[in-house]
Structure formats: C-alpha cells, structure tokens
Amino acid sequence: MRDLFVHKNISKAKTLTPEFYTNPRYFEESKEKIFSRSWQFAGDISSISEPTVCFPFTLLEGFLDDPLLLVKNKNSQINCLSNVCTHRGNLLIKEPCKTNNIRCKYHGRLFDLDGKFKSMPEFNEVKNFPSKDDDLHQLPLQQWGNLFFTTLTESLPFNKFFKQMIKRLEWLPIERFLMRPGLSKEYQINAHWALYCENYLEGFHIPFVHSDLNAIIDYGNYTTELFRYSNLQTGIAKGDEDCFDIPPSSPDHGKKIAAYYFWIFPNLMFNFYPWGLSMNIVLPVSPSHTRVLFHSYVWQEEKLNIGAGASLDKVEMEDEEVVQQVQKGIRSRFYQHGRYSVTKETGTHHFHRLISEFMG
C-alpha cells in the first residue's frame, strides 16, 4: 500500500499513485473513509408527494448498499429512516406505499412513521424493553428545492459541502425544477469512479475531446473556483449562444454564462443549464467499473436541446471513451505519476488532495 500524499503546492505536486485505482483494498476502504462521511442524494419530492407515503431506496446501491426509507408522516414532516427492522434485520418496505404505520412482515414489529417503536407480539417477558435501540435509526436529512440529501454519519455538516452552490444560485427557482424521468439515463463505464470524476473536474480536455461543446464554450474564459468540499467550473458562451439571464444580485451579473458545473465531493455533479439541471451521481461498482446516473430536472422546457445543455449523451460518450482508455493506461508498469497543469487542472489537484485527506 503506497502513500496517497499529494503536495498542496500544485506546481510541485504529483498525481495519485495508480494503486489507488487498481488495488481492491483502497476501493473497500473508501466506503467508510470517504463515502459514509459524505452527503448523498436520497430522492426528490416526487417520491413522497403525499402524507403517509413510504419510499424505499438503497444508498449507493451495489457499493454502500444501505437500505433506507423516505417517509412523509401525517403532519407532512419528511424523515429518512433505516429500512431494517430492529428485531432480526428484515427489510421493512419493499415498494413505495401509503401506510399509517410501518409493520415488519417477519414477526409483526410495529413502528410509527417517525421510526418510533410501537409494539411487538410475544415480548411481554423481555426485560428492559423497549429501549431507544428498538426505534428505527433516523438519519439526517437536508432539502434543497425538491431534492433531498442524507449522510450515514453526519461527521461533516451539510453546509460544508453545499453552501457555496446554494448561495451562488440562490436566484434560481430550484423548487420549480421538475424531475423528467424520460430524459434521465444510466451509463455503465469500465473505469474507476475517481477517474470519471477527474475527467469532469477539468476543462483542459474540452478542445481535444469535445468538438461540439468547444464550439459553444469560450475555452479561454473557462474558470474553476475551489471551495472546501466542492468546486465550480463556469462555461462562458461564445457569440449568441444560449445563456442564463443573471440578475444584478448575483456576482455573475453581466457574464454570458452557458453552464454552471458544480461538483460536490466525492461523487455528485450538478450541471445547471438555462433549461434546468442535469444531476450526475457517480456510483462505484468495482475498481474497474462505475455506474453513472443522469437525473434531469427541467425548468424552462423551451430551452431544451439548445446551447451547452444540448447533446449531453454525445458529450458523455466522448468522456467515457477517454476515461476507459485511461483505466487501461494506468495499469502500465511504465506509469507511476503525472503532474498537474497549474492553470488548467486545479480541480483535479483539489480532488486528489481531498482523497488523500479522507483516506488518511
């Protein structure tokens, strides 16, 4: 196991050792050291539009694999609960449903919609029962617009990750962004999850990989801003290409911004276009395989398929091709480390520094 140290001075730094991407031990350790401490997407308002609705989901299915529930109680309060019975570990809810209580179908243990234990057959003789351990674990839940986020540990507060994005885009009516399942897609990539993120975190490759996007984005004015656990890449439109109508209250007023690309460590990408949001969730599967979910939330229908937010599938295919080639290349005995462009790869350097920090 090699040291994952990355020098804080980008002009002196070398990239992560290839072992981070190829050694299964690093992959397994990242579950607890990185992902369990981060904030992850839990669903949106369309899943729990009515009181007494339970919506089961698996947090990072195939990786963390934690069965959870979004629940709207009778008072319309929304909770995120463990979907595992505190008696023998049975899964409680298998499909979205409306119910006044949560009952385990194995031995009949009953919980209310806040996760509190209510009753259990044949337990009258059990001493010191019930206790708090018999309630369903309630996870922290944060809402932004119609989107929900949770974390398994809450070792780091939500605002540490999301504050800069929420503040920067406070003028956008996020609550009017509506999920469009027909535009949402899933991609299978034969590469390590971090390689996919690294590619996203720099615009350096745009002129070489994305000819159509390069015709829309002003590469010379492409910028990257770094925050503690996130960053922002801003794409400026060329000529008369479609861009945001930014109000005077924003620090970006007067700029012809075609796209805001926000990244939240370690695996969430929020791509804002004049038509709405393409949220990309990077799901690790193995050291050489990754799933990426594209969730589309439409705001201005008439601006779909225009500007930087058009042809997302083509851009994705171009990114996948190069990332999969890198996955093969890093296994070469002749590749050990790379160096960073001081002007163009600050986002990738920032990402590697965070990996080094979280992995200890």
Do 343 and 208 share a structural domain?
yes
* Number of compact structural domains in the chain: 2
CATH of the domain at 46: 2.102.10.10
Let me know: does 309 contact 159? Beta carbons within 8 Å: no
> Domain of 308: which CATH number?
3.90.380.10
Residue 260 predicted with pLDDT over 90: yes
pLDDT of residue 241: 75
d(CA 184, CA 186): 7
Alpha-carbon distance of 290 to 278, in angstroms, equals: 18
pLDDT the model gives residue 206? 85
Statement to judge: residues 114 and 223 lie in one domain: no
- Whether 301 contacts 332, CB under 8 Å: no
Per DSSP bridges, beta strands 110-111 and 78-82 are unpaired
Mean pLDDT, range 199-221, rounded to an integer: 81
Question: Is residue 156 assigned to a domain?
Answer: no
136 and 187 belong to one structural domain: no
Residue 47 lies in a domain: yes
**Poorest-pLDDT segment among 94-108, 310-324, 343-357:** 310-324
Q: Are residues 252 and 129 in the same domain?
A: no
Same domain for 249 and 325 = yes
Instruction: Assign 101 a pLDDT band (cuts: 50, 70, 90).
Output: very high
Looking up tokens 């059990």 gives: 126
Residue at token pair 């369309």: 46
pLDDT, tens digit (0-9, with 9 covering 90-100), for 45-80: 999 989 999 999 999 999 999 999 999 999 999 999
pTM of the predicted protein model: 0.94
**Is the same domain home to 135 and 215?**
no
Measured distance CA(326)–CA(220) in Å, rounded:
26
Same domain, 187 and 64: no
Residue 26 forms part of a structural domain = no
What secondary structure letter does DSSP report for 339?
Answer: B
**Nearest in space to 358 (alpha carbons), one of 39, 4, 8, 63:** 4
Contact in structure between 271 and 297 (CB atoms under 8 Å): no
Which domain-ending residue is among 111, 133, 150? 150
Among the candidates 150, 170, 196, a domain finishes at 150
Q: Give yes or no: residues 215 and 130 share one domain.
A: no
Q: How confident is the model at residue 155 (pLDDT cuts 50, 70, 90)?
A: confident
By residue range, what is the domain housing residue 204? Answer: 179-359
Residues 136 and 184 in one domain: no
143 and 187 both lie in a single domain: no
Edge-to-edge, what's the strand order for the sheet holding 138-139?
Answer: 97-98, 53-59, 66-72, 78-82, 138-139
What integer is the mean pLDDT of 30-43? Answer: 97
* Residue 51, in any domain of the structure: yes
pLDDT digits (tens, 9 = 90+) for 136-153: 999 999 999 999 999 999
Angle (CA) 220 347 325, round 5°:
90
pLDDT of residue 130: 97
Amino acid at the residue 193:
W
pLDDT > 70: percent of the chain: 99
Single residue among 150, 167, 202 that ends a domain in this structure: 150
Please give the backbone phi and psi of residue 354, each rounded to the nearest 5 degrees, phi first: -70, -40
Q: What is the dihedral of CA 329, 206, 228, 273, to 10 degrees?
A: -130
Instruction: Identify whether 320 is part of a domain.
Output: yes
Q: Where are the beta strands (DSSP E) in 117-173?
A: 117-119, 138-139, 141-144, 147-150
Q: Are residues 212 and 299 in the same domain?
A: yes
For 280-338, how does the pLDDT look when each residue is reduced to its tens digit (9 = 90+)?
A: 999 999 999 999 999 999 999 999 888 777 778 888 889 899 999 999 999 999 999 99
Mean pLDDT (the chain) is: 94
Residue 305 has which token pair? 């398929």
* Residue 129 pLDDT > 80: yes
At 2, the pLDDT band (50, 70, 90 cuts) reads low
3-class DSSP assignment, residue 159: helix
Is 194 part of a structural domain of the chain? yes
Q: If residue 162 lies in a helix (H) or strand (E), which one and from where to where?
A: helix 158-168
20 belongs to a structural domain: no
Tell me the percentage of the chain whose pLDDT exceeds 90. 85
Higher pLDDT, 135 or 213: 135
Spatial separation of the C-alpha atoms in residues 60 and 78, rounded to whole Å:
20
Angstrom distance (rounded) from CA 159 to CA 150: 12
Three-state secondary-structure class, residue 54: strand
pLDDT at 1 over 60: no
Same domain, 232 and 349: yes
Q: How far apart are CA 351 and CA 339, in angstroms?
A: 14
| Mean pLDDT, residues 200-206 taken together | 87
Comparing 216 with 339, the larger pLDDT belongs to: 339
Within a domain: residue 124? yes
Question: 204 pLDDT band (50/70/90 cuts)?
Answer: confident
pLDDT > 70? residue 163: yes
